Structure formats: C-alpha cells, structure tokens
Amino acid sequence: MDKSILTLDKGTRCTAWNYSGQRLAAGLLDGSLLIYDSTDPASSTFISTSRFKVQESSILKVVWVPPEYGDAVACISADGTLSLWEEVNEDTEGHHWKLCKCFDRNTSQVLDIQFGDAQTCLKLVAAYSDGQIKVYELLDTLELEKWQLQAEFQNVIDLVSNFGNASCLSASVSWNPQRSELQQSSFVLGFSSNVPALNSPKVWEFDLDHQRWLPVAELSLPEDKTDQVSAVAWAPNIGRPYELIAVATQKGISIWRLGSNPDADGRLSAQKLATLSGHDSEVWEMDWDMSGTTLATTGSDGVVRLWQSNLNGVWHEQAVLAPAS
C-alpha cells in the first residue's frame, strides 16, 4: 500500500531533494522557502523544520549546492533574481538560514541554473532571458558569498553572432556529472526563445589553453534546429566510452550519443539514438538515475514515465507513474 511521506504547503511552486534524499526544499508562491527534514530515516517521515522569506515574488526553482560545500540552496524568483542561502549555526541565533549572495541580473531574468565541477572548483552556470549564459566561479570553498564572473556568452555555434533582441521564455542546463581527469568541464544548454539559433542544445566545453568556453557539439538534426527546447539531462557515465544526453522539445524526447574523441576542429560527434514519445503535452523535467541507464520524465500531463534501453540498444517505456484519480 502506498504511503504519503509528507504533505506540501498548498502554495508550493517547486521542490528539490538534496543529494542524500534526506532533506527537501520547497519554494512557495509567497516567496518563502520551506525545508523538510527526515526525523526518523527508518520511517521516511518528513516534517517542516525551517521557513524563511526569500523574495516578495514566488520562487520558481530551487537547486541544492553540492554537499561538499555545506547545506545551501540557490533560488530563482519570479522577478528574475538569483539568490544563494546557507544554513549556519551561530552562537546568538542557533541554526538558521542566511542570505549569502544575491547575483546581479541587470535587466534580464534568470531562467535556469545548475552547479557543476564540484571536485575542482565549484561553478554555477546561469541562463538568462536575453539568451546570455553566465558562468560563475566560487573563489573560496569556505565562503559561499565569494563568487566571480568567469565568462559570459550566447548559446550559438557562431561566436561572432549576437542577438540583442532575444526573448527567451525558458532554458534548461545540465552539467556533465562525472567527467574524468582528462576531460575539461562541460555542460549542455538549450533555450525556448524567439531566436532559432539560440534554441538548439549546444554542448559547451572549457578550453583550458585559451581560458574560454567553446561549443563542441550541437544536439539537433538540420530540420530540428529551430525547435524550442524545454529540458535537457546529461546522464551519469559508469564505464561507457561515450556520453548520453536527453533533449526534450515539442516533438518528443531525443536520446543523443556524444563521442569522446574530438575531430581536427575540436568538435565531438553527436548521433541521435532514439525519439521517445508518450507524454501528451510539454515535458518539464528529466532526470537520470545514478547509473545513467534509466531516464525519468514528467510534464504538464502530470505523469512520470521511466525509459530504458534493452540489450539491443532499443529504447522503450519501462513504467508509468500516474497520480491517483
């Protein structure tokens, strides 16, 4: 028999589990953030332990900072601001959450963020409503308020191009979760915008020799380059000689194979392996399991679908999780 582990506040807009699955952060319509903790891991029961105000506008997305850097979350608010909050223990106030950093946004709004490259130097990539991508770098591993802007560019193959009138409704970014020592930092990013050149998912890799980010692959067929992207997800890699990346557009979910050996121009080969169809509407979120073999997807139809590849490399729907009627 199914058992409920917690009841969310009626004003909940978004949620995010931490890396151990023992804490849940929930962003509310009134701009508050709720933290749920498991009081007894054996019973999987969660209760609200903290509630604090992040912004006056609603919270659209919450992302936990990698656990090596403490208990902290980044919040995107409906007014486009990006803020970073950390749980601290101070003698005068005890355990509480404090604002570490509020990132400058100028006139554009933050659409999506992800943390990456935690083993070397923590980085944060942010996608903005004007089509810009900003990569921030943490200066001191012990002080989450000290960040610097490492790079700023647009999601285009032709780095000379600049689309000043871009208007992006949404964006999705996913870091390479398990790069080897021989690989540089890399992530994939796609937009849903009024500029076709910005939309198609690009794989960006850091060029250590020239200290800049370069597009090394584009995950779209020629006839699909203008499709607006709703979600991307880079699979963990345990022993594969290639990478797997999932891309969601209005045409369905595509599974891409990304090569590991660059050609003479520094580009990586990209091959579309499958198109997964089953959701009746837009796909909002995608996530891989720890082994990188099962993909979970969900969208506005309220259904979670699990996808796997068989031994012959054919992708199929493994399970459907639908809310009780």
Coil, strand or helix: which one is 199?
helix
Taking only the tens place, the pLDDT of each residue in 235-260 is 999 889 999 999 999 899 999 999 98
Which of 291, 315, 17, 64 has its CA nearest to residue 178?
291
Which long-range CB contacts under 8 A does 33-38 form with residues at least 24 apart?
33/59, 33/62, 33/73, 33/75, 33/85, 33/97, 34/9, 35/87, 35/97, 36/6
Averaged pLDDT, 308-325: 88
Model confidence at 219, in pLDDT bands (50, 70, 90)?
very high
Above 80 in pLDDT, residue 79?
yes
pLDDT of residue 324: 72
Rounded-to-integer distance, Cα 259 and Cα 270, Å: 6
107 or 57: which leads in pLDDT: 57
pLDDT of residue 179: 64
For the chain, what is the mean pLDDT?
A: 90
- The lowest-confidence range among 45-49, 123-127, 197-201, 315-319 is 45-49
Rounded-to-integer distance, Cα 176 and Cα 203, Å: 9
Above 90 in pLDDT, residue 301?
no
Averaged pLDDT, 22-32: 95
Rounded-to-integer distance, Cα 253 and Cα 288, Å: 13
Which string of DSSP letters, residue by residue, matches 29-92?
TTSEEEEEEEEETTTTEEEEEEEEE--SSPEEEEEEPPGGG-SEEEEEETTS-EEEEEEEEETT
Averaged pLDDT, 116-129: 87
Model confidence at 106, in pLDDT bands (50, 70, 90)?
confident
pLDDT of residue 300: 87
pLDDT of residue 119: 67
Above 80 in pLDDT, residue 296?
yes
Query: Considering the entire predicted model, what is its pTM?
Result: 0.92
Model confidence at 65, in pLDDT bands (50, 70, 90)?
very high
- The lowest-confidence range among 8-12, 21-25, 44-48, 180-184 is 180-184
Model confidence at 162, in pLDDT bands (50, 70, 90)?
low
DSSP 294: E
94 or 58: which leads in pLDDT: 58
Above 70 in pLDDT, residue 323?
yes
Averaged pLDDT, 45-66: 94
pLDDT of residue 2: 65
pLDDT of residue 228: 95
Model confidence at 299, in pLDDT bands (50, 70, 90)?
confident
Above 80 in pLDDT, residue 105?
no
**Token pair recorded at residue 151:** 């790079």
